[in-house]
Every structure is written in structure tokens, then in C-alpha cells.
Structure 1
């Protein structure tokens, strides 16, 4: 129920830009600040988690199935569509996102299927139009009180944002790519101890683009499949604190290449330990520290290793104000020519204010630092966001968003520097 409310609040928050799929991480949920966790930490509820029965969409009952249709319609303006330092070009756009979710609730075998079509159309710059889709399926099998098996499959087609450092600046249209993958998670609980094993496979296939003169821009070098295996152990010292350890192995297979630059095949691992905690009624959070290493098969590519950090804390300033901060440091893949990846350090801070029962005001900022491997380049990306979500009824929600993003880059192979501002409004219809 809480997730349905959160989706209603955030249903149109992505109307400004195309949705981009992110690389999955089997340990993302470790020590989540959400009140929905195994240790019953629900003495305080975040603004976005709070139950709002009068505004929660209701699914359509089809026998034993629950059907939840959604339609998000939005319009906005981007004042720097091509993310350029000079000669900025802006354009207005319309975005339509129909979505259907089908669920078979069951205490032993819950099945789910959802699909979304994402249509983005610009007023003047038709080359930037995007037609995206995603399809996801899942099965949660409760074997016993102690054992569960969760299977998920995903497939989608996406368009890369122009503001992404991986987007070729000379391309006449955005780079498109398809993503497909699956995850299997087995969980066993021994009283206070919970152990979890996760296997994940993900494939990304990028389409070539062209220059304004129709010269091809090769993107095949980015095609790859990532295999990840993870083991996690969590022990609850008390309802307020739990310790966990996690280890993962990954293998990244890139498409074989003919030419001077070899495929960026690599193997790596992560080892980490940490704690999740609740500090009375004022705060809930988690911290994970560890070590990561990624070794590349071609000898001309430099291996990467370092300190792994992930932390998240929610501070309940008042029952109506939740402040959330996160930090994340690890190695990521990239589409920048010559680079084998980059060390990413992300820090975010967001405040959510329940001005009215059905009106949520949010504001926040994000700093992303990228230190590219194998080339001399560093990027600093700042993003500032403000939004207002107004729940009109169970069926309807309104959304208003502002976003400002800047990028600074330096080094012998520095990237673009730009400022981009976006504004959007959206309307979401859900359920009956």
C-alpha cells in the first residue's frame, strides 16, 4: 500500500526527460531507510511513505487478478536541448506515458506483469523525439515462513539523454539502446539472521548514430553483458540495529572488436560490511563501507580499485518534514571513447514537506563526481530540483517540476561544460 502511495506522488516526476534504465545492484536494498523492512522499524514514517487512503489508486478486480492502468500526460520546456556551452537551443515538448500493471496476489505465489510506453515529442526538433518502452515480469514464491524465491525479468528500449557524458556531442540524434535481463533472489531467515543469494544477468545493446553529414558514429563498442553474483548476510542485534556483510563477483563481457581498441572485458568484486539503524523516532539509516576492484583483460587498460561507500539516512525533522541524504561511491561503465569506466561519487540531499494532506513540496540537490579511468578527465555535475505533487483524488494527481543541471569538466580530454534548465507540468490518471 505504501508503495502505491509513493508511486502516486512520483507518477509524473519523470515527465521532464526520458527514463534511463540503471545498472542493477543486488545490494541496493541493504539497510534501506524505508519503514518496510524485516526489522519492523516503523516508529516514524517518511512523508512519501505515509498512508493516504483517500488518495490511493484502486485497481480493477478481474477475478483473482488486479489490473492497475495509469496514464501520465505532461508538457515542458528545455532551454538547452543539446547541452551546449554556447549557442543554446531550447524547445517545448509533450510526453505521454500509458502504463498497465497486472498482479495476481497470493500468500504463496505472487505474480506480476507491467508494461509502459513512453512517447516524447518535441515541438520543433523532431530528431530528439523518442519512443521508449519497458516490460517487466515477476514471481515471488513463498516456500515457507523462512524461505522465499523472487524472480524478475525486464526488457526495454531507451533513449540516452543529451546531457549524459556518454552521449556523443556530434550525433544528430540521441543514442538508442535496448536492455534485457533477469534476477533471481533466494532468501532464508534463521531467527535474527537473514541470508540472501542473488544472481543477475543484464545485456545492453546500443544502436549506432550518425553525424549531421550522415557519417556513422559507432556505438557497438558499448554492447555488453554483465553477470553478477552476490551473497548477503544480515544479523539483527535489536529491532533498532542490524549488521550486515556482502560480497559480489561480476563479469562484464563486451562485443568482440576488430581494430586498434580492444573490447573492455573485465572481472571484478566487491566486499563490504555495515549497519542499518533507527535512532529513536528522529532518524533511520544505513552505512556500508568496503573495497572494490575491477580488472580489465586488455593489458593497455588500467585496473581500478578503491574504497566503496554507500550511505543513506532519513531525518524526521517533524511529522510533516522528512530530510533524506545519500552518498554512493563505486565504479561505473561508460560510453566515453578511450575510457574503461569511471569512479563515481554521488551525494544527494532532499527535503519533502507535507504542506497539506494531499500536497507535497520537495526540493533537493545532487553532486555527481566522475573520475574517468584510462583517460585524463574529471567531471562535476550539479543537479537542483524542486517539485510539487497535488493529489486531486484517488484517480488523479498533478505535478510541477523545476530542474537545473550544470557540468564542469577538466583534464587533457575534458568533456563539455554546460547549464541546462527544465520546467514541466504533468497530470496522472490511475486506477478506476
Structure 2
């Protein structure tokens, strides 16, 4: 594949995976990316297409890939209201640049992107987001590697959030700053690694329809996590692992300290990568969460991911997760809930330059100490047409339904876009 192909593939997998996690509705994403890919399989999304791959610009030992995306679309329910939804058209502009090193030793990946999405006649719903991220890979010896990462972003909360109701999530924005480091040691059949990360979350006020602002500073928090994993490869295709992690969450607003917690998570599982067939991971464990208020919650947690490769032109995927989360608005005492999620997807290469995608997601959020329950269902379909190295066309449509104990919200949205690779 060469250093250039490796750089392109690294960018595609590293930042695409991050984007996928950001869309699942959790403010604090999962701590451990398993890294089940051992190079035996390439998904439809990962596969390089030399005739359509952006050529970028080379400056010394770096490859630079700028791009600019424009899009237009519409939504049936701008504010995810339970009734009398307000439809609106929208337009967006999204510049971005990604950088990958071509060095024979060590590696560097950088990302900068922004999105300005404007809803016609519904300015409260406007989205202005951005991301700055950098990740390095330091080879400290034949068996030891360190991966530091810094990231800052302005994000949209989105309809799958379980921390607040749908209408508030639709107009909620927050700033996330992250610093992390992963240290990995590989020797023979044994791989061990430790990940430490610290993140701060600051929530912007929400502008109501009457022009007043709803303060969200009570949701501001700091999250510090340390997670370690020991993995043993029984064969080139199968490995077993155990992991342990500790998470400290502290809320910074006055009077919100009781919502802070310390959590211990223990889990065990396996990773599989079968050439031209499948790859994935599954883990089961237990979480124990103790709040500053004195409340104590715990129980079974699980996560799994699977990719199937029936043919080179078709990739099927599925994910499942059970985690313990917190509602964070309007309460001064903890309101923990179980978050159970399932998702499935398919990517099909209809032509060498035409990729079709279908997705389905379902989530159930059940409060532990109150008879409140939410279910969320989302389906979507899309297509990406690679016109040339410089131009990509895309289109997508989706429908989401969020049912609460007393209310329900629905939204259908579609959009088309054009990406120009400089």
C-alpha cells in the first residue's frame, strides 16, 4: 500500500470512527477503542479507490487534504417538538483539512473542520460547529508505542441524547476539550495498554422561542478516566482480553456537586478478525458507580461490534451497548438511567464510484429511580457518488422517532451535498 496509502487509510479510520461515536447521542463517548482491525479485511468505506482518491498536496514529509462541502436539505420538525412541528429548509457550508505524515518512524495526524448550517426562518436551530484535533504516534522501541491526542470541539447535542428532552437537545450546544494518551506494549502473543484522558464539557445557554435564554451551566463537568487492558492472542484471528477502568466525574457549578461520581468498570471479552469473513468484539462486565450524594448504582454492562464481509462490495455491521448514564438538567440529585442501544448498517458498492448506505438505530433509556422511559428509533439511507478525485456528490434521508413517558417527537430530514477536494 505504501506510506501514502497508509496515511490515507489511517485518516479514514481514525477520524471516521470518531465521527461515528459523536453521532450516537452520548456526551461522554466510550473509553476504549478496541482496534480489532488486524489488516485482514477492508470495509467498503475503508477501501481506497485510486482513480477517485483525492491526491492532496505534499509538503515535505506531510500530505495535506483540504476539502469544502456544501449541502442543502430540509427537516419536518426543526425543534423536535412533540406536536405542531415547524418544517424548515437549510443550507450548510463545511470547510475541512486533514494532514497525515509520511515519516518512516513515528506518525502525525491533524484535523480541522467547521460546519455552518442555517435553517431558513428558524435561526434558533442554526448549527455552528467546529473541531480541531491532533494525534501522534511515538515508537518508543520495538515493543512500546505511545499515542497522545489533543482535541477541542464545539458540538451539537442531537436527538439521541438521553441527558435532556428532545426539544432541548435540538438547540443545545456544548464545548468539549480533551487530552489523552495511550501507551501500548506488544510482546509475542500479549498486548497490554493503558489509556488516560481528561475532558471538560461546557454547555452554552439555550435560546427559547420567546427570546429568553435557558442557562445550562449546571451541566458543566470535568471527566477523568484511566483504563487498562490485558489481551492474549490465542491465534492470529482470536484474542481474549480483560479490562479495568476508573472514571471520576465532577460538576463545576455551585450546588451541583452531589451529581459527581466515581465509577469502576470491569469487563472481559474477545476480539476476532477472520480474513474475508468477519471482524468484531464483544465484552461483558460490571459497573459500580458511587455518587457524592451517597447514592450507589451498579449492574451489568456490555458492548459489542461486528462487521461481516459477504463480498468485497458489501459490508454489514452491527453494534450493541448497555451503559449507565445520567440525566443532567433540572436535577440536583442523581438521576441515573440505563442506556441500551442497538444499531445495524450496510454499505454496498454498486459501482466502483457509487456507494449506497443504509442504517437503523434503536435505543431505550430507563431511569432507575423513577418510572420514566424513552425509546428512540432512527432509520436512514444514503448514497455517495465519486465523480472524480476532486468532486463527490452525496444524498441522504432519515427519520427519527423519540417516545417518552408523556411525549413523543418525530423528524424526517433529507439533504444533498457536493464536496470539492482541493
TM-score, normalised on structure 2?
0.89
- Out of 95-104 and 334-343, give the one that drifted further: 334-343
Task: Decide whether aligned partners of structure 1 residues 21 and 105 sit closer, same or farther in structure 2, where only a CA change above 3 A counts.
Answer: farther
Supply the distance in 2 between the matched residues of 1:111 and 1:283 (Cα, whole angstroms). Answer: 29
Q: SS of 1:281's equivalent?
A: coil
Structure 2 counterpart of 1:76, from 48, 70, 73: 73
Asked whether the 8 Å contact 2:166–2:402 carries over to 1, the reply is no
Corresponding residue for 1:218? 215
1:272 aligns with 2:277: no
Task: Decide whether aligned partners of structure 1 residues 169 and 404 sit closer, same or farther in structure 2, where only a CA change above 3 A counts.
Answer: closer
What is the CA distance between 1:86 and its match in structure 2?
1.6
Structure 1 counterpart of 2:367, from 358, 363, 372: 372
1:298 aligns with 2:293: yes
Task: Decide whether aligned partners of structure 1 residues 58 and 122 sit closer, same or farther in structure 2, where only a CA change above 3 A counts.
Answer: same
Corresponding residue for 1:236? 233
Structure 1 counterpart of 2:337, from 342, 366, 384: 342
In structure 2, list runs of 5 or more residues that go unmatched.
Answer: none
Asked whether the 8 Å contact 2:195–2:228 carries over to 1, the reply is yes
1:29 aligns with 2:34: yes
Q: Deviations over 1:148-202 (max 9, x none)?
A: 1111001112233367454567769822211101111111111111110110001
Alignment of 1:4-403 (within 5 A): 4=8, 7=12, 22-30=27-35, 32=36, 34=37, 37=38, 40=39, 42=40, 44-161=41-158, 164-167=161-164, 174-258=171-255, 262-279=257-274, 281-299=276-294, 302-338=295-331, 340-403=335-398
Task: Decide whether aligned partners of structure 1 residues 21 and 398 sit closer, same or farther in structure 2, where only a CA change above 3 A counts.
Answer: farther
Q: SS of 2:51's equivalent?
A: helix
In structure 1, list runs of 5 or more residues that go unmatched.
Answer: none
Supply the distance in 2 between the matched residues of 1:365 and 1:292 (Cα, whole angstroms). Answer: 27
Task: Decide whether aligned partners of structure 1 residues 173 and 21 sit closer, same or farther in structure 2, where only a CA change above 3 A counts.
Answer: closer
Asked whether the 8 Å contact 1:172–1:210 carries over to 2, the reply is no
Q: Deviations over 1:244-276 (max 9, x none)?
A: 111100100101424xx6541100011111111
Supply the distance in 2 between the matched residues of 1:278 and 1:104 (Cα, whole angstroms). Answer: 27
Aligned residues: 410
Asked whether the 8 Å contact 2:79–2:171 carries over to 1, the reply is no
TM-score, normalised on structure 1?
0.87
Give the root-mean-square deviation of aligned CA atoms: 2.7
Asked whether the 8 Å contact 2:222–2:249 carries over to 1, the reply is yes
Bigger relative contact order, structure 1 or 2, given CA contacts below 8 A and separation 6+? 1
Supply the distance in 2 between the matched residues of 1:327 and 1:19 (Cα, whole angstroms). Answer: 11
Q: Which has the higher helix share?
A: 2
